[in-house]
């Protein structure tokens, strides 16, 4: 195959449909020296680590295009130092990720997954109104950690459930407070007051390990933790201990640390946790838009134009 050489994870057919025959896509993992020397672009599709050493191994690298918003797996500072532009896909996945947040809240609170397994099993022989009594979502208090675009979309959906909405953010958002009728809290107060805590923040140095034993102990015993951020925001062992020790009632996780969890990890055995395989943006229209933005950033970088959605100022 001829064309400009791009290193990428295994890509879906949609990439070639949108990019045409312009690119010769070669595997990012275990790329040969010849592949790296010929490479002009990298597409980070499934969160591969793209650090300075990877960049230096590709002397002709002109652009890194990330399929997603979070770029914690890309050393943006190293790219900036090397004058390599990095692009991502902001805005297009806010709604689908907020939808998934509400899906986890509802599925955990109302025992949807446990109920599904029970309904398919041999023990379900008659209706019993005394089993699997869940928590009411309507009228409950939701604490959102991270009031960015996704957090705001979660708040809009929560309003339809008449929830009291609290939020914690690196900086207060007075306009958002007014528009969405949300109240600012310190992290400690938000954890203590909320029935549901939804993590919708980026992974940064300050948010890594942010939810640990002390924070979980601050939550209500009936509290439910939802992680739609990144796995390392929550300390995995602390979460397991809290779920098995009655510190909190349940959790819904779209992400874990590590991801995926080892197949024998004890967290996988718990019935009071719902785990999804990182489905936040996995809706048909969103993934179409994400891939289009990924291709647009890739082509712009190769043509020396500013990236439509760049995360650094490299040119």
Q: Verify whether residue 230 is a known catalytic residue.
A: yes
Q: What is the radius of gyration, based on Cα positions, of the chain?
A: 21
Catalytic residue flag (residue 73): no
The verdict on whether 287 is a catalytic residue reads no
- Out of 156, 177, 259, 289, which one is annotated catalytic? 259
User: Which candidate, 269, 230, 221, 271, places its Cα nearest to that of 253?
Assistant: 230
Kindly report the number of other CB atoms within 10 A of residue 245's CB atom. Answer: 10
Within the chain, what is the greatest distance between any pair of CA atoms? 67
Instruction: Map the chain to HEC letters.
Output: CCCEEEEECCCCHHHHHHHCCCEEEEECCCCCHHHHHHEEEEEECCCCCECHHHHHCCCCCCEEEECCCCCCCECHHHHHHCCCCEECCCCCCHHHHHHHHHHHHHHHHCCHHHHHHHHHCCCCCCCCCCCCCCCCCCCCEEEEECCCHHHHHHHHHHHCCCCEEEEECCCCCHHHHHHHCCEECCHHHHHHHCCEEEECCCCCCCCCCCECHHHHHHCCCCCEEEECCCHHHECHHHHHHHHHCCCCCEEEECCCCCCCCCCCCHHHHCCCEEECCCCCCCCHHHHHHHHHHHHHHHHHHHCCCCCCCECCCCC
Nearest to 43 by CA among 229, 292, 315: 292
Extract the tokens encoding 140. Answer: 């409950």
List the catalytic residue out of 47, 67, 173, 278. 278
| Dist CA 157 CA 226 (whole Å) | 15
Kindly list the catalytic residues: 230, 259, 278
């Amino acid at each position: 195959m001829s064309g400009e050489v791009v290193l990428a994870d295994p890509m879906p057919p949609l990439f070639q449909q949108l990019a045409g025959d312009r690119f010769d896509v070669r595997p990012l993992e275990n790329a040969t020296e010849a592949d790296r020397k010929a490479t002009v672009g990298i597409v980070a599709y499934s969160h591969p680590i793209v650090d300075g050493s990877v960049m230096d191994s590709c002397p002709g690298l002109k652009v890194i295009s990330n399929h997603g918003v979070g770029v914690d797996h890309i050393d943006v500072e190293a790219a900036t130092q090397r004058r390599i532009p990095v692009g991502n896909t902001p805005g297009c996945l806010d709604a689908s990720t907020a939808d998934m947040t509400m899906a986890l809240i509802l599925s955990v609170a109302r025992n949807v997954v446990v109920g599904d397994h029970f309904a398919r099993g041999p023990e379900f022989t008659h209706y019993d109104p005394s089993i699997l009594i869940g928590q009411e979502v309507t009228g409950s208090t939701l604490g959102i950690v991270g009031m960015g675009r996704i957090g705001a979309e979660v708040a809009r959906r929560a309003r339809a459930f008449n929830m009291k909405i609290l939020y914690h953010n690196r900086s207060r958002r007075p306009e958002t407070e007014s528009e969405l009728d949300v109240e600012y809290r310190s992290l400690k107060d938000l954890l203590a007051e909320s029935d549901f805590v939804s993590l919708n923040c980026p992974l940064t140095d300050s948010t890594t390990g942010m939810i640990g034993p002390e924070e979980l102990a601050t939550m209500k015993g009936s509290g439910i933790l939802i992680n739609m951020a990144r796995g390392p925001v929550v300390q995995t062992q602390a979460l397991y201990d809290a779920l098995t020790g009655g510190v909190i009632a349940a959790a819904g996780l779209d992400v874990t640390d590590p991801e995926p969890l080892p197949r024998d990890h004890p967290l996988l055995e718990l019935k009071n946790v719902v785990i999804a395989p990182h489905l936040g943006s996995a809706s048909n229209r969103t993934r179409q838009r994400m891939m289009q933005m990924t291709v647009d950033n890739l082509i712009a970088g190769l043509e020396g134009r500013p990236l439509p959605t760049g995360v650094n100022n490299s040119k």
